[in-house]
Amino acid sequence: MKPVLVAFATREGQTRKIAEHVAGTIRARGDEAELLDLGTGTRVDLDLSSFAAVVLAASVHLGRHEREMVEFVKAHRTELEELPTAFLSVSLSEAGVEDMTAPFDARAKAAIDVKKMIDDFCAATGFHPSRVWPVAGALLYSEYGALVRFVMRRIARHAGQSTDTAHDHEYTDWKGLHRFVDALMMELEEDDGRPGDRRYGVATRSQARGSPPSQAR
């Protein structure tokens, strides 16, 4: 099977970590994965037809996905539409959706926010990925300057996340992400004529990480 491209756009580095986890999961299955950091520019010779699928991962800041990801998808939309694609939207709002200790209304509001950010991305790019998987990000206070730390602390308070700026706080559900990637790869392997390993994979989001509020669907 052709390799899978994992293209990512990040600000403080959590989405890079997520992209590396995706690539590592793919490689652990015996398949090839190529990482592409959109923040450093794209390859001049990039030919998406040389890949079996493309995984796109982008963090969200102030309600918008990274500009580099939006520009990449706009530039390659026609090629992407010919391939299986997965979009990983990395945000603190998703952490609110997955917080089982939070009130129902708070989780429902967070789910609405997540959906709106993804809908806005699709509207801005004109592209609709084959699969979408929201991923909870992190509060990396140690990586922020004074102004950004102040802003992120206010956002965290609004989202019900930690305002303890003395520590970093990671909310990413690594097991759920791993199962999502396994399910994606199983489908690709079966399409490629290889027997997918039925030990892996999930049919729905709820099976991967527990049922969020009904509004999250």
Q: In the prediction, which pLDDT does 210 show?
A: 40
CATH number at 38 reads 3.40.50.360
pLDDT digit string (tens) for 15-47?
999 999 999 999 999 999 999 999 987 676 789
Flag whether 24 is in a domain: yes
User: In the chain, how many domains are there?
Assistant: 1
Residue numbers of the domain that contains 132: 4-139+172-208
Flag whether 213 is in a domain: no
Flag whether 90 is in a domain: yes
pLDDT at 155 over 90: no
pLDDT digit string (tens) for 81-118?
999 999 999 998 898 899 888 889 989 999 999 999 99
Q: In the prediction, which pLDDT does 133 show?
A: 96
Flag whether 51 is in a domain: yes
* Residue pointed to by tokens 């600000």: 11
pLDDT digit string (tens) for 114-148?
999 999 999 999 999 999 999 998 877 777 777 77
**Residue of 122 and 153 predicted with greater confidence:** 122
Flag whether 86 is in a domain: yes
Flag whether 100 is in a domain: yes
Flag whether 153 is in a domain: no
Q: Give the model's confidence band at 166: pLDDT under 50 very low, under 70 low, under 90 confident, else very high.
A: confident
